[in-house]
Amino acid sequence: MNSSALSPPDTVEGDVARALAEDIGSGDVTASLLPDAADIAYLLCKEDAVVCGRPWFDACHRALDPQVRIHWRVAEGDRVPAGTVLATLEGRARALVSAERASLNFMQTLSATATTTAAYVDAVRGTGARILDTRKTIPGLRAAQKYAVRVGGGVNHRHGLFDAVMLKENHVRAAGSITAAIRAARSMHAGLPLIVEVETLAQLAEALHEGCDRILIDDFDPAMRREAVRIAAAVTPRIPLEVSGGVDMTTLRGIAEDGVDFISIGGLTKHVRAIDLSLKLGPPPG
């Protein structure tokens, strides 16, 4: 896995603390029925997946049993087939059971995002287009899901409303024109990346003339999209083009082959179908 995908430790610790507090509350009354003795467990992946979420999984178990030993058989970002034992654990039985659901919730959700992202990345391979995420994330898990997008081979868009300026229809309407909106953004936020959404080829020409960091061509049909790529390619320095909206596996490859630089897809983080995982006490099969 590329080092750029490394998870921020403070984010992991905060996410895990909230998850365990939510699940355990004043105490795990069911786990108290188990003997507080040493035991082993294994983590099983029941479907094909891209593995993601190891830092969160580890942190859940170590928060309840600092002495737990976790032996990973796969690396973060590995593609595994159904039936793969991902890891074995040695620790206190009660702690293993109490950490089970929170640790699986992180792994199944982040592996789902990484797996979906990898499928989109595979679909545009060889075209030069790169897959972007959006802000359509699970509340409170944005940093985790954006990490999972990177593990799956995608690229992060802006993290929030604070780290890039994105001019859309309402901003252009309020300013009176693309040019006026761009100049106002530069005046107020000179140090931030500037992304401009355009709805016509005339607006594209205006944004190219004024300059920005990326241009989002919104709801262009294929002929308009190809013309936008041709127009943008003739301008120096070259400003990357992004496509968003109306993108799925049936349209993705054609959009990429038109020559755009980025394709942003909310479904990477919004339409999450958890990967089927389980944590079982006892030795792994075989």
Q: Is the dihedral of CA 206, 207, 210, 211 positive or negative?
A: negative
The answer to whether residue 218 is catalytic is yes
CB 111 within 8 A of CB 49: yes
Residues in the chain: 286
The DSSP bridge partners found for residue 69 are 90
**Cβ contacts of 196-205, under 8 Å, gap ≥ 24:** 196/166, 196/167, 197/166, 197/167, 197/168, 197/169, 199/169, 201/227, 201/228, 201/231, 203/172, 203/178, 204/228, 204/231, 204/232, 205/231
The answer to whether residue 65 is catalytic is no
Distance CA 283, CA 277 (A): 16
- The CB density around residue 113, as the number of other CB atoms within 10 Å, is 34
The answer to whether residue 136 is catalytic is yes
The answer to whether residue 46 is catalytic is no
Catalytic residue, candidates 101, 186, 226, 270: 101
With 0-12 CB in 10 A as exposed, 13-18 as middle and 19+ as buried, what is 218?
middle
Distance CA 202, CA 206 (A): 6
Catalytic residue, candidates 62, 79, 135, 136: 136
Report helix, strand or coil for 20. Answer: helix
The answer to whether residue 253 is catalytic is no
Catalytic residue, candidates 62, 168, 186, 270: 168
Of 200, 231, 203, 218, give the one whose Cα is nearest residue 264: 218
Catalytic residue, candidates 15, 65, 197, 258: 197
Catalytic residue, candidates 13, 90, 218, 227: 218
Element (H, E) at 207: helix 201-210
Q: Which amino acid is at 94?
A: R
Q: Hey, which residues are catalytic here? A: 101, 136, 168, 197, 218
